[in-house]
Structure 1
Amino acid sequence: MSEVAPLISDLAIILIIAGIVTVIFKWLKQPVILGYIVAGIMAGPSVSLVPTVSDPANIKIWADIGVIFLLFAMGLDFSFKKLINVGITAIVATVTIVCGMMFIGYTAGNAMGFSHMSSIFLGGMLSMSSTAIVFKAFNDMGLLQQKFTGIVLGILVIEDLVAVVMMVVLSTLAVGKHFEGKEMLESILKLAAFLIFWSALGIYLIPTLLKKIRRFTSNEILLITSLGLCLGMVMIATKAGFSAALGAFVMGSLLAETVEAEKIVHIVQPVKDLFASIFFVSVGMMIDPAMMWEYAVPIFILTLLVLSGQVLFGSFGVLLSGQPLKIAIQSGFSLTQVGEFAFIIASLGVSLNVTDKYLYPVIVAVSVITTFLTPYMIRLSEPAYRFIDIHMPESLKDYLVHYTSGAMTVKHQGTWHKLIRSMLVSVTLYLVVCVFFITLYFSYVHPLIRKSLPGMEGNLLGFIIIFLVISPFLWAIIMKRNNSTEFRKLWTDNKFNRGPLVSIVLVKILICTIIMMSIITHLFNVALGAGLVVSSIIIAVIYFSKRIKKRSLTIERQFMANFQGTDGNGLSTESDTGSTLGSNIPFKELHLADFTVSPDSIYVGRTLKESSLRTLFQINVISITRGEKRLDIPQGEEHLYPYDKVTVVGTDRQLESFRTSMEQKKVERNGNGTSSQDEMEIGQFPVEGGSPLIGKTIREADISDSIIIGIERSTVNIMNPDPDTIFKENDTVWIVGKRKIIKGLNKD
């Protein structure tokens, strides 16, 4: 008899324990995430009261998959457009938090007698909040539509990017015992190039691909395709030296720009829930209650530092970026936990043998405790804000109102500033794409060509291939923004502007010439002078070529259509009203949020006028997205249908009331649930002598909520009878309807 593999038996143990514990926590009205951690402690090797896992290494594998799917789901919910909308706030807050927590962690480590290197690593660990835990807590608490959650998720995403750079810096510091500025700069540039290239390529390719194959895809195929793309980007990210979580988030963000985003979220949800639960259970399994007692004092001190430091620096950073005090406090209280990147940084220190051995279990314990407290800290933010608002001096309150209102106002920017900024963005984007394509060509394609076609012929073929690929992007580098409103205004306003403007264009031409010259000299081994001449001629051809111009504009048009969520015909597939209206809303408490109408919502089939959303909740419906089309500013006669995405504007309180109402099901409104008597089934009933149906047509009988699919008679069987068919004595009628209706007909 074969035995069950440890991987399966361990998975069975943790899921059974997690199921029992989370039911208890749900009954106690506690966050489910806390139940997972308690289940992990119970299933871990440190507790012998219940069966424990035999090989914790297997659970680590499941947990890694859980982190991937959590970040993938977060990317699906938090697209690039949303990240751009909170970009400045997230950057300012992240810099404030990381710098402040690094200082606190290093100081506390030295004060508690940790080694110099352990103190540096400790600062890095304490500065990283948990994307997975916060996202799960927001989801469980129904807060994802509130204004501050978008800012918090933006901060967490940028913290994850900072963590990647931090690991490179800490590795360099651990090996060389000093900072290597060159290594740090290279890692930052490499990360930026990776994100720009794959984001641009993904936005161009993936939505287009899904549109073309949409009619061939079922839920099963879409699920497999989505998970395959997610894991494919994970492999690309890890090959490039970045984290798997970063790759999963990037792919989720790319799929969020597609017409299938809502469906992908729906079908991926069960997979994400399974592996996410295993991840949180694995966090609990890392904790040893005995170890917590042994290092109780450092754990207690570090826990207090995380809670107070994240609240202080998080709130201050968000406030500094120009957000209102309430949003700042809610954001700061949401970041009070040590994240999964802290485990990675701690493991890095252990593998390099530069940190104290007890640092890893201590930071895991702090992470578990702060994870426990995360939902309660989020709930505490409201009363904390009310307390501060009541006791704050009026002069300081007026100053903060003036500061945040001024910071959120769009300031006038000089024409030169706008032109330089737009040119810098476009040149950087296309330059990164060109460099990546050239790198990929010389790393993978060129060796294959040289192997099968050596000599000049192979080099010439290779040059043609790389030229065809990058020429549209070189044209864009040279020409983009040369005919913009700002460029023309500066050119006509003052003749002294023309020299700098021409110089800018020449610099862009020079950049393209250098790129082309590097390719030519590498392939054909010519002198720099000859390479410069040939490159200049080729760039001139690119400049004047109408075909290359057309290809470049086509690529850009498709990219922008995918990024903006349109289907190429001007029909939006993604609610982009946040970018067009968000900065013009006059009331600082208002913000936009998206809600999906579930099939059993009480609003299904109702018109907006019948739903009275504005009267009941004081919200305004901005748009309704249905499939590939979006209806902006819908009228009162517009109906709501299942899976419609409704974009509304309101305050956090108004949106929360609307969300609660949206989740109310039709059966709840009628005061009863779905019972076995309401289920649909196929049944039959006889038309006996004396039945009131004899002599009546099917239409006259008016048997409600059912369909007559057949009639058996002694001489003939009638399938799908006509509504004018007359019932006769001794007929046997086959019907599809609710069970209680069929039982009633049989009694009659």
Structure 2
Amino acid sequence: MEHSLVFSFFLIFTGAAVIASLALFTRQPLLVAYIVLGALFGPYGMEMVTDTSLLSDIAEIGIIFLLFLLGLDMQPSHLLHMLKKATLVALLSSAVFAAIGYGTGKAFGYTETECLIIGLSLMFSSTIIGIKLLPTTVLHHKHTGELVVGLLLLQDVIAIIVLLALYSTSSGDVSPTTYLKTLLAFPLLIGSAFLFVKYILLNLIQRFDRFHEYIFLVAIGWCLGVAEGAAAMGLSAEIGAFVAGVSLATSPISQYIAESLKPLRDFFLILFFFSIGASFNLGLLDDVIVPALILAVLVLAFKPLVFKVLLQRISESSQMGWEVGFRLGQTSEFSLLIAYLATSTLLIGEEASHLIQATAILTFLVSSYIVVFNFPSPIAVSDRLRRD
């Protein structure tokens, strides 16, 4: 049964308010509540919200705003230093996680291509969970936050290359020129954004800074404009949003913009996690539950360990390595996108796709519990660990 978008929003946000209240009373992470609600109300549950593709498109805006706000808190000089330091860790860890996924897929009899896609899906950690559970006023300006953000950004670059390869496979365009254009687009985007901010955007903001709604409007327009520009250049909208934020980070107005946009970001992120739960076909759960559980256990066990070992190799402390490892100890939204794209281009079957999805959801849930109960975060259930 089809419902209007307004009715769908009523179900999602009223239901989220109720189940979030229960989650807080029982000291559970709110992200878990949103995913469970999606599974309950979605097309494979009670069928009360059926147009999950529309919700997913809307929810993507939440990811874009999240990366934009993150960029506003990152000074370019600190970020560049951390990216240089974390590159080797990002590359080596991605190779290890890909091998784990590939080997597990082979053990359960999936095809060579499906094993490769499963391996690729394990390479990345969740930008949303990693950053959503990162205190914005504390760790973003400390070493832990810089490491987490640097690794996530490098993984995003690797993910773009993977997605580009999948798109090229579906379209038949696998020329080196396609990859070269994408690699050249990134510095071009950065340079254009900083020049526009320096010579145009900041002048406009300084001239009309007494009109608060104008600042709000310009910030949203700048974020979405650079995001769309990045997408048009072959990059991801998320990376474009981050560049938009970093280009404004040195401006005194950046913190005002960050505070103004936080409620808007949270609105869309609730939709994102709801859509994750709603898009999973519960009817295929029996077919993938065993390999999904094994993959989830391997991810949850080995990601923190691998990150800890590699970070110690670049002179980080053991405690720092464990915390960063646990914060990145899950698969990614990119895993879901890889599964969707690989299925739509017939590279993998429905069962392999749902294996990737089930692994992602399981690691999202368990990893959220681990971080919320053990490390500082804005939604920690303990007053001792709660940091905004």
TM-score, normalising length: structure 1: 0.47
Partner of 1:158: 154
Q: Distance in 2 between matches of 1:195 and 1:183?
A: 18
Give how far 1:311 is off: 1.6
Tell me if structure 1 keeps the 8 A contact 2:182–2:234. no
Name the structure 1 match of 2:163. Answer: 167
Match of 2:68 in 1: 72
Q: Is the 8 A contact 1:75 1:250 kept in 2?
A: yes
Q: Tell me by how many angstroms 1:319 deviates.
A: 1.7
> Aligned partners of 1:658, 1:54: CA distance in 2, in Å?
38
Q: Which residue of 2 aligns with 1:327?
A: 320
Counterpart-to-counterpart distance in 1, 2:176 and 2:57: 34
- Whether the aligned pair in 1 keeps the contact of 2:186 and 2:235 (CA below 8 Å) is no
- Cα distance between partner residues in 1 of 2:262 and 2:194: 26
Q: Residues 142 and 258 of structure 1: is their aligned pair in 2 closer, same or farther, counting only changes over 3 Å? A: closer
Gaps of 5+ in 2: 376-382
Identity %: 26
Match for 2:267 among 274, 278, 281? 274
Deviation at residue 10 of structure 1 after TM alignment: 1.0
- Give the secondary-structure state (helix, strand or coil) at the position aligned to 2:45: coil
Give yes or no for contact 1:73–1:252 (8 Å, CA) kept in 2.
Answer: yes
1:260 to 239, 253, 256: 253
SS of equivalent residue, structure 1 residue 30 = coil
| Distance in 2 (alpha carbons) for counterparts of 1:206 and 1:99 | 42
**Contact 2:339-2:357 at 8 Å conserved across structures:** no
What is the aligned partner in structure 1 of residue 356 from structure 2? 363
User: Which amino acid in the other structure matches residue 252 of structure 2?
Assistant: V
Per-residue CA deviation, residues 131-171 of structure 1 (Å, 9 max, x unaligned), is: 11211122499765653232112110111111111222344
On the 8 A contact 1:18/1:40 being kept in 2, the answer is no
Whose radius of gyration is greater, 1 or 2?
Answer: 1
**1:205–1:379 CA distance, 2 compared to 1 (3 A):** same
Does residue 213 (structure 1) correspond to residue 207 (structure 2)? The answer is yes
Structure 1 residues 84 and 296, CA gap change in structure 2 (3 angstroms): same
Query: Match for 1:138 among 134, 137, 159?
Result: 134
Structure 2 residue 167 is the aligned partner of structure 1 residue 186: no
Question: Which amino acid in the other structure matches residue 261 of structure 1?
Answer: S
Name the structure where strand makes up a greater proportion of residues: 1
Distance apart, 1:209 and its partner CA: 2.5
Distance 1:186 1:276 in 2: 33
- The structural deviation recorded for 1:305 is 2.1
Alpha-carbon distance, 1:76 to partner: 1.9
Q: Give the structure 2 partner of residue 201 of structure 1.
A: 195
Stretches (4+) displaced over 6 A: 174-177, 656-660
Q: Assess, with a 3 A threshold, how the Cα gap between structure 1 residues 61 and 167 changes in structure 2: closer, same or farther.
A: closer
Question: What is the CA–CA distance in structure 2 between the aligned matches of 1:290 and 1:221, rounded to whole Å?
Answer: 49
Which of 118, 121, 124 is matched with 2:114 structurally? 118
1:314 corresponding residue in structure 2 = 307
In the other structure, the counterpart of 2:8 is: 10
Question: In the superposition, relative to structure 1, how do residues 658 and 315 fare at CA in structure 2: closer, same or farther (>3 Å)?
Answer: closer
Aligned to 1:46: 44
Give the match for residue 88 of structure 1: 84
Matched residues in 2 for 1:292 and 1:141: separation? 40
Structure number with higher helix proportion: 2
Distance 1:306 1:659 in 2: 26
Describe the shift of the 1:348–1:267 C-alpha distance in structure 2 as closer, same or farther (beyond 3 A).
same
Tell me how far 1:378 sits from its aligned partner: 2.6
Deviation of the 1:78 alpha carbon: 2.8
TM-score, L = length of structure 2:
0.88
Residues 200, 142 of structure 1: alpha-carbon distance in 2 compared, 3 angstrom cutoff: closer
- Work out the CA distance in 2 between the residues paired with 1:140 and 1:31: 18
CA drift at 1:233: 0.9
Matched AA of 2:97: M
Shift of 1:260: 0.6
Q: Given the alignment, which residue of 139, 144, 148 partners 2:144?
A: 148
After superposing the two structures, state which structure 1 stretch, 353-362 or 8-17, moved more. 353-362
The answer to whether the 8 Å contact 1:7/1:58 transfers is no
- Please list the CA deviations of residues 511-556 of structure 1 after superposition, one character each: whole Å capped at 9, or x if unmatched: xxxxxxxxxxxxxxxxxxxxxxxxxxxxxxxxxxxxxxxxxxxxxx
Which position in structure 2 is the counterpart of 1:394? none
Distance 1:219 1:659, change over 3 A: farther
Matched residue SS, 1:138: coil
Cα distance in 2, alignment partners of residues 354 and 377 from structure 1: 34
Deviations, residues 17-72 of structure 1 (Å, cap 9, x unaligned): 11111111122222221221122122212222xx7214222212221222222222
- d(CA) in 2 for partners of 1:352 and 1:266? 41
Of residues 27, 35, 38, the one that matches 1:37 is: 35
Aligned with 1:55 (options 51, 60, 64): 51
For the 8 Å contact 1:295–1:362, the answer to whether it is kept is yes
In the other structure, the counterpart of 1:293 is: 286
Quote the offset at 1:199 in angstroms.
4.2
Secondary structure at the aligned position of 1:113 is classed as coil
Residue correspondence of structure 1 range 484-495 to structure 2 within 5 A: none
Q: Distance in 1 between matches of 2:143 and 2:184?
A: 32
SS of residue matched to 2:251: coil
2: distance between equivalents of 1:363 and 1:659?
A: 32
Measured in 2, the distance between the counterparts of 1:153 and 1:305 equals 23
Instruction: In structure 1, list runs of 5 or more residues that go unmatched.
Output: 383-655, 664-748
Please report the RMSD computed on the Cα atoms of aligned residues, expressed in angstroms.
2.9
Which of 1 and 2 has higher RCO (CA within 8 Å, sep 6+)? 2
Cα pair distance change 1:141/1:370, threshold 3 Å: farther
Contact 1:206 1:254 survives alignment (8 Å) = no
Equivalent in the alignment of 1:245? 238
Query: 2 CA distance for matches of 1:176 and 1:338?
Result: 28
Helix, strand or coil for the counterpart of 1:295? helix
Aligned: 1:101 with 2:94 = no
CA distance in 1, matches of 2:74, 2:93: 21
8 Å contact kept, 1:105–1:122: yes
The residue aligned with 1:129 is 125
Does the residue aligned with 2:133 lie in a helix, a strand or coil? helix
State the alpha-carbon separation in 2 of the partners of residues 142 and 37 from structure 1. 27
Amino acid of the residue matched to residue 98 of structure 1? Answer: S
Structure 2 counterpart of 1:330, one-letter code: E
SS in 1 for 2:259: helix
Deviations 1:577-609, CA, capped at 9 Å, x for gaps: xxxxxxxxxxxxxxxxxxxxxxxxxxxxxxxxx
